[in-house]
Amino acid sequence: MLKGKNAVVTGSTGTIGRAIAQSLADAGANVLLNGFGESDEIEKLRGNLIRRSGGKALYHGADMLHPDEIVAMIGMAEREFGGVDILVNNAGIQHVSPIESFPREKWDDIIAIDLSAAFHAIRATVSGMKARRWGRIVNIASVHGLVASIDKSAYVAAKHGLVGLTREVALETATFGVTCNAICPGWVDTPLVRRQYEARAAREGSPVTEAIAAMLGEKQPSRSFVSPRSIGEAVVFLCGTAADAITGVALPIDGGWVVQ
Ligand code: NAD
């Protein structure tokens, strides 16, 4: 379905990004990986993507804190693939703390990685998409792009900003065959969330399984984690012809979190 299309997925050494890269490769796309990690592991993943797509896979280690590195990453994809058709802004970090003690540098990093990096990547990519009159931008926001939770000031602000950016870019690109959508996952069992339930278990002196059940019970009516694969498949759907006229949406994949 996406044979011959070239994708960049930021933060794709992580759990959700990896699943997105694999789903895109399964649909035939060439994928440029990005994110931190051991070089052996990254090489293994690159090989895995090549086998899945029968095409190409690249890696660029751009740090999303640095706009010049983001531009260099897009430049590599354009040079080696011949263009970027699909951009998935997925890299993200979290920090949990009451606002009065929220470290200032954590605020700056979360706004830079979870919001500004998407702006820089879209800015570097969109003129090629418009010129080719086809493009798909998918921003991995969060339920926290739609509703708030306590102690997550920077994350909630960044993800609401990312949903706003999604809507704005959808308008700018609407007549060019380019769509821009956001996916808003609920709890997915990844290191970003693991740190939160392990901290809760330690705080409450309870087993981790109880902390997970309590965490899911508070927010996610399905009471089970969202699978990374389902997010990857949703990205492929948004890149397919069924989604040609879907733009500017913020799609919750959240087991019912935001309808309560
Ligand atoms: P993860 O920690 O497994 O992966 C994060 C990825 O981002 C990794 O590849 C990491 O190397 C990369 N990254 C972090 N800082 C970076 C930087 N400065 N430059 C380049 N890459 C960087 O986390 P995840 O849960 O897979 O998160 C992926 C996205 O999904 C994030 O945007 C997150 O906010 C969002 N999300 C996650 C959940 C969840 O429940 N896990 C829910 C909603 C949204």
For residues 235 and 133, membership in a common domain is answered with yes
Q: What are phi and psi of 89, to 5 degrees?
A: -90, 100
Please write the tens of the pLDDT for every residue from 14-38: 999 999 999 999 999 999 999 999 9
DSSP code, position 145: G
**Residue 257 counted as domain residue:** no
Three-state SS sequence of 179-224: EEEEEEECCECCHHHHHHHHHHHHHHCCCHHHHHHHHHHHHCCCCC
For residues 11 and 70, membership in a common domain is answered with yes
Average pLDDT over residues 50-63: 98
Residue 245, CA atoms < 13 Å, CB-side half-sphere: 0
CATH number at residue 180: 3.40.50.720
Cβ(232) – ligand 1 distance below 6 Å: no
The pLDDT value given to residue 171: 98
For residues 90 and 147, membership in a common domain is answered with yes
For residues 29 and 93, membership in a common domain is answered with yes
Q: What pTM did the predictor assign?
A: 0.98
**Residue 49 counted as domain residue:** yes
Cβ(255) – ligand 1 distance below 6 Å: no
Separation of alpha carbons 72 and 83, rounded Å: 13
For residues 19 and 100, membership in a common domain is answered with yes
Report CA(245)–ligand 1 centroid distance (Å).
28
Separation of alpha carbons 39 and 43, rounded Å: 6
The pLDDT value given to residue 84: 98
Q: Which of 59, 81, 107, 155 is catalytic?
A: 155
Q: Which domain holds residue 137?
A: 6-186+227-252
Q: pLDDT tier at 137 (50, 70, 90 boundaries)? A: very high
Q: pLDDT tier at 2 (50, 70, 90 boundaries)? A: very high
Average pLDDT over residues 42-62: 98
Average pLDDT, the chain: 98
* Sheet of strand 30-34: strand arrangement: 57-60, 30-34, 6-9, 86-89, 135-140, 178-185, 250-253
Q: pLDDT tier at 133 (50, 70, 90 boundaries)? A: very high
Q: pLDDT tier at 174 (50, 70, 90 boundaries)? A: very high
88 close to 33: Cβ distance less than 8 angstroms: no
Q: pLDDT tier at 131 (50, 70, 90 boundaries)? A: very high
For residues 39 and 132, membership in a common domain is answered with yes
Report CA(235)–ligand 1 centroid distance (Å).
16
Q: pLDDT tier at 188 (50, 70, 90 boundaries)? A: very high
**Residue 260 counted as domain residue:** no
Q: pLDDT tier at 47 (50, 70, 90 boundaries)? A: very high
Average pLDDT over residues 113-142: 98
Q: pLDDT tier at 234 (50, 70, 90 boundaries)? A: very high
Number of separate domains in the chain: 2
For residues 70 and 94, membership in a common domain is answered with yes
- Residue 197 is a catalytic residue: no
Chain centre to alpha carbon of residue 224: 20
For residues 19 and 138, membership in a common domain is answered with yes
The pLDDT value given to residue 85: 98
The pLDDT value given to residue 121: 99
Average pLDDT over residues 99-107: 98
The pLDDT value given to residue 182: 99
